[in-house]
Amino acid sequence: MNQYILAIDGGATKTTLSLRDASGKVYFEKTSTSTNYQAIGAEKVEKVLTNLLNEAYKATGILDIAVATFAIAGVDTQNGLAIVQQIIHRSCGNSPFSIRRTIVENDVQSTLIGLTGGKAGALLISGTGSAAYATDGQGRIERSGGWGHRVGDEGSGYWIGREILNTIFRSEDGRLEKPTVLTDLVYDMLQIDNIEQLNDWIYQPDYTNAQVANISKILTKAISLGDEQAIQIACNAAKELSIMTNAVLRKIEPIGEDFIVYLNGGILKHNPIILNVFKDYVKKIYPYISFHLCTQNPIDYIANRALSSLK
């Protein structure tokens, strides 16, 4: 009998569910909105997951699931894990699926396991949020960063977006020595005309972390125009990401020469200056490690995590 797995990649911006068999064949896959309960609340997360699960069943008619891996952003503490487990329990109860084993993990941890296949390695993600995880290949997993937008997420899309917005307000106040193109680029993106409208946008009732993270997309354009403030933000982001990575690598030393640091997330993929400066910083401490920029969709790594638990 064929075995089926569910892989759910629940991030701060979007959530993807994939239903596959043991050979990796995809039977259903769909992307919806965020399932980070810290950002949108437990009720909305439950609704998103319930809808995805029911759509997967209606599309496939498959009932028996061997393993379901829920890789969810915001699973950072035991209390957070308990909250997410309750949400998932209710969501699965609202669907027809019979799931024999359920794995609930932080999304970065699941991705790391899916990437390394149990071997030593590390993963840095910089998307809407940021975090670094590493494993020694002997079952030990350590982390650095990933403490959320209120106190952390350094070097992430949200962090960069917030830095850009802060720069615009500082420029408006006359607190910068030189003008910045960031103002015009953000105004154009948001289709607004002045600082008061920007302030209203920030404090709108429907404000989300993802909206601020989206602002980071203008950074590359600003850098190409030679904007000093944009270049400084990029370099600061790279430094913060390197500090996070070096910290987690220290926790699992010694590091072998074949050690790989996997890199994932839109910030690292679409900002060459951040990527290159980051590598330079890390290489100063760990000159022999190598880097691998992930090219597959994140859901594929989560699916690998689920499939590995079948073996």
Asked whether 224 and 253 are in contact (CB, 8 A), the reply is no
* pLDDT at residue 311, as a whole number: 66
Angle, CA of 202, 212 and 220, to the nearest 5°: 130
Instruction: Tell me the domains of the chain and their CATH numbers.
Output: 4-116+297-308 (3.30.420.40)
How many CB atoms within 10 Å of residue 93? 10
* pLDDT at residue 146, as a whole number: 78
Give the list of residues 6+ apart from residue 160 with CB closer than 8 angstroms, or none.
213, 215, 216, 219, 233, 234, 237, 267
Asked whether 9 and 299 are in contact (CB, 8 A), the reply is yes
* pLDDT at residue 1, as a whole number: 67
Q: Which is nearest to 54 in space by CA: 32, 75, 74?
A: 32
Q: Please list the pLDDT of the chain residue by residue as tens digits (311 residues).
A: 689 999 999 877 789 999 999 988 999 999 998 888 877 788 888 999 999 999 999 999 999 999 999 998 878 788 888 999 999 999 999 999 999 999 999 888 899 988 988 789 999 999 888 999 999 988 899 999 877 677 778 999 999 999 999 999 999 999 998 899 999 999 999 999 999 999 999 998 888 888 899 999 999 999 999 999 999 999 999 999 999 999 999 999 888 888 999 999 899 999 999 999 999 999 999 999 999 999 888 899 999 999 888 76
Q: What distance lies between CA 1 and its chain's CA centroid? A: 35
Asked whether 91 and 50 are in contact (CB, 8 A), the reply is yes
Q: Which is nearest to 12 in space by CA: 113, 141, 157, 143?
A: 157
In order of 51, 83, 224, 309, the CA distances from 38 in angstroms are: 20, 10, 35, 28
pTM for this predicted structure: 0.83
